Amino acid sequence: MRSCPTLAAYGRLYCALPRRFVSLSFTSLRRHNSAPFLNFSLFTAFRSPFSRMEQFQTGTGSTGNKAMVENLKRFGVISSKKVSEVMEALDRGLFVPVGSSAYADTPLPIGYNATISAPHMHATCLLLLEDKLQPGMRALDVGSGTGYLTGCFALMVGAEGRVVGVDHIPELVDMSIKNVEKSVAGPLLQKGSLSLHVGDGRKGWKEFAPYDAIHVGAAASEVPQALLDQLKPGGRMVIPVGTYFQELKVIDKCEDGSIKARTETSVRYVPLTSRDEQTGGF
């Protein structure tokens, strides 16, 4: 049976079913004048089995992390041996706030009006970028947050590759460095093949461009030109695009520099914006 694409909305997972099965309504949840979240309501009969994954959490530490990965494999989210190995090696529990449900398949708040994506979204992005995360390649993670996905990228490209994480919240960058240091990706940080920086990710990070892979962890109203410019010919970018209605875009730059884009699935991310707009000026 072919699995249908999933979408994350208001912290819950549903199957991206045909429009006639889906009713959309806006839930009036406003924080710091942010846009209301979309509340996707589906008829009970068409609820995806992915909705049960949110409840799944077994054990702690490496035990809980392994169970999380096995669950993602069981539901068909992870189909790559390499992605499975990387997500199993890098303990998600080291990259979420203390006391959080680290291994449940749900996004989690990390402070500063930011979130860490649900594990199924991390797996999806790793699968989409896997061919551009081969040993020795270069990757840019925009909106690197707590450093989890940046660390996954680093494990995939290895010590001869180069991975750069950028976030405009200094406190999150400091946190991400400490998180990575405690993880299996720590030696790559010490070696310098993985680095985390404070900056406006919408402008990319020119120092190590061009990149084979670019991941953006927040929704842009349109694809930033600076990121397209820093994408290597033959490279790929995965970026959520939209405001109220968002789509996960897969953007490939051809060898002649032309751009091809397609939509992978519907998603819900926090907006890609300035530091002041994200934090409310604090």
Q: What's the start-to-end Cα distance of the chain, in Å? A: 49
Map tokens 């002041």 to a residue.
Answer: 276
Q: Which residues pair with 129 in a beta bridge?
A: none
β-pairing, 22-27 vs 37-42, is antiparallel
Number of Cβ atoms within 10 Å of the Cβ of 108: 18
CB contact at 8 A, 107 and 117: yes
What are the residues facing 111 on neighbouring strands? 114
Exactly one of 48, 117, 195, 266 is catalytic; name it.
117
Q: Are 168 and 278 in contact (CB under 8 A)?
A: yes
153: enclosing H helix or E strand? helix 148-157
3-state SS of 99-115 is: CCCCCCCCCEEEECCEE
Active site residue 144: no
Tell me which residues are annotated as active site. 117
